[in-house]
């Protein structure tokens, strides 16, 4: 991935510890490793930060919104290679899910507009207890001076991050009021318009190709790379408002980056080459079950995808539209953080170390 993570366990201040607990309490794996009293505390709806604001820890990637030259071909690629579940498809665009059946991570795929280049148009994060925190969240967004705050249907907010990159903040649970284009018809989730739009995307599901069973089973995003001009400002936003935990930072030089953990996912903030550059995202990785480096390489080569090693826990390929994606094992981000110090190329043993 060209970026590494450093473990700050034992060095966090009180604010970081509280934010980390708020994050950890949402994941089954991490809950078992901290005291029950900490879990109970971290399960609270929102947390106060050192600056007097509130944090609303995110736990899932509700979806990445991908533009594709042919949405159906891209859909079939991710279904077959990563075992994703087709959740909604109206014949023009679709929603895919993977991991948890009740609080899944996901992906939206839509056709590119004329002249548009493939890019991840926005990221949607899931936050537990969203509906009970909805008003408080808007108040906090406004207090922080966040730009372009607006409803995203009844069960989400849209806004810009400090770099101007579009975010959705939604409920994390699978919900019939969340699908591509839901913001308009689902201003009221129980409305006839919302229900009709949801049902329109259910009619084509059986006709879509199914996974062959020869691919992998994705469980979460191993990482998402967001390229921005000011990584420190972005770090503060995602850490202080969305409760992400810093696991690696390198703020100096043109290759500066921060890695932040939330749930089973990692957000990598990477510095763009020019301060005037607009933020963009065209690289991400997916964690799969039962990762075996040799078996993964063999299957990727069988599909003609020309995999390149991105440490011993990940292979990097390019999808149909040019997105750089990794097929990763559990712990890929932590391996880069603790062993590789920012880049898989610096791992002991090189990119395969």
Residue 250 in domain: yes
Tell me, yes or no, whether 88 and 203 share the same domain.
yes
Tell me, yes or no, whether 220 and 158 share the same domain.
no
pTM (two decimals): 0.85
Q: Enter the DSSP assignment of 345.
A: G
* pLDDT confidence of residue 18: 38
Q: Are 270 and 226 in contact (CB under 8 A)?
A: yes
Q: Report how far residue 91's alpha carbon sits from residue 334's, in angstroms, rounded to the nearest whole number.
A: 39
Tell me, yes or no, whether 232 and 184 share the same domain.
no
* pLDDT confidence of residue 349: 86
Considering its fold, how many domains does the chain have in total? 2
Q: What is the CA radius of gyration of the chain?
A: 19
Tell me, yes or no, whether 122 and 250 share the same domain.
no
Backbone angles phi, psi at 266, to 5 degrees: -135, 130
pLDDT by residue (tens digit) across 48-80? 665 568 999 999 999 999 999 999 999 999 999
* pLDDT confidence of residue 103: 92
* pLDDT confidence of residue 329: 97
Q: Which helix (H) or strand (E) holds 62?
A: strand 60-68
Q: Which residues of the chain have pLDDT under 70?
A: 2-52, 253, 275
Domain containing 232 — which CATH number?
3.10.180.10
Tell me, yes or no, whether 221 and 197 share the same domain.
no
Tell me, yes or no, whether 70 and 195 share the same domain.
yes
Structure tokens at 279: 């933020």
The residue among 242, 233, 241 whose CA lies nearest residue 263 is 242
Q: Residue 226 forms beta bridges with which residues?
A: 269
Q: Which of 207, 242, 270 is the last residue of a domain?
A: 207
Residue 281 in domain: yes
- Reported for 42-46, long-range contacts at CB under 8 A and 24+ positions apart, including other chains, are 42/18, 45/129, 45/132, 45/133, 45/136, 46/133, 46/136, 46/137, 46/140
Structure tokens at 180: 């591509």
Domain range holding 82?
A: 60-207
Residue 306 in domain: yes
Q: Are 302 and 292 in contact (CB under 8 A)?
A: no
Q: Are 258 and 185 in contact (CB under 8 A)?
A: no
* pLDDT confidence of residue 250: 87
Q: Which of 177, 207, 237 is the last residue of a domain?
A: 207
Say which residues have a Cβ less than 8 Å from residue 245's Cβ, sequence separation at least 6.
16, 19, 20, 23, 239, 260, 261, 262
Q: Are 247 and 5 in contact (CB under 8 A)?
A: yes
Tell me, yes or no, whether 180 and 228 share the same domain.
no
Q: Enter the DSSP assignment of 278.
A: P
Q: Which of 207, 237, 257 is the last residue of a domain?
A: 207
């Amino acid at each position: 991935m060209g970026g590494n993570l450093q473990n700050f366990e034992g060095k966090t201040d009180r604010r970081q510890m509280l934010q980390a607990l708020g994050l950890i309490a949402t994941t089954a794996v991490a809950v078992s490793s901290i005291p029950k009293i900490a879990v109970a505390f971290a399960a609270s709806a929102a947390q106060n930060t050192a600056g007097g604001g509130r944090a609303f820890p995110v736990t899932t990637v509700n979806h990445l919104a991908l533009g594709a030259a042919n949405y159906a071909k891209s859909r079939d690629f991710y279904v077959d290679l990563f075992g994703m579940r087709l959740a909604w498809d109206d014949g023009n665009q679709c929603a895919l899910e993977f991991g948890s059946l009740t609080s899944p991570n996901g992906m939206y795929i839509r056709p590119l507009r004329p002249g548009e280049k493939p890019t991840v148009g926005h990221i949607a994060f899931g936050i537990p207890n969203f509906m009970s925190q909805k008003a408080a969240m808007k108040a906090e967004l406004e207090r922080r001076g966040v730009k372009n705050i607006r409803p995203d249907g009844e069960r989400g907010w849209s806004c810009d991050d400090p770099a101007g990159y579009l975010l959705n903040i939604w409920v994390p649970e699978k919900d019939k009021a969340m699908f591509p284009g839901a913001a308009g018809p689902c201003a009221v989730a129980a409305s006839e318009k919302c229900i009709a739009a949801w049902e329109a995307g259910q009619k084509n599901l059986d006709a879509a190709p199914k996974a062959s069973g020869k691919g992998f089973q994705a469980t979460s995003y191993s990482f998402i790379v967001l390229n921005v001009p000011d990584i420190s400002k972005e770090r503060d936003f995602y850490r202080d408002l969305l409760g992400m935990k810093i696991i690696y930072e390198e703020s100096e030089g043109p290759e500066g980056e921060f890695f932040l953990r939330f749930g089973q996912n990692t957000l990598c903030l990477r510095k763009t080459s020019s301060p005037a550059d607009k933020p963009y995202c065209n690289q991400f990785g997916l964690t799969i079950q039962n990762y075996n480096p040799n078996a993964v390489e063999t299957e990727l080569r069988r599909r003609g995808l020309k995999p390149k090693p991105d440490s011993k826990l990940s292979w990097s390929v390019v999808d149909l539209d040019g997105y750089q994606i990794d097929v990763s094992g559990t712990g890929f981000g932590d391996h880069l953080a603790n062993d590789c110090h920012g880049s898989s190329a610096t791992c002991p043993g090189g990119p395969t170390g």
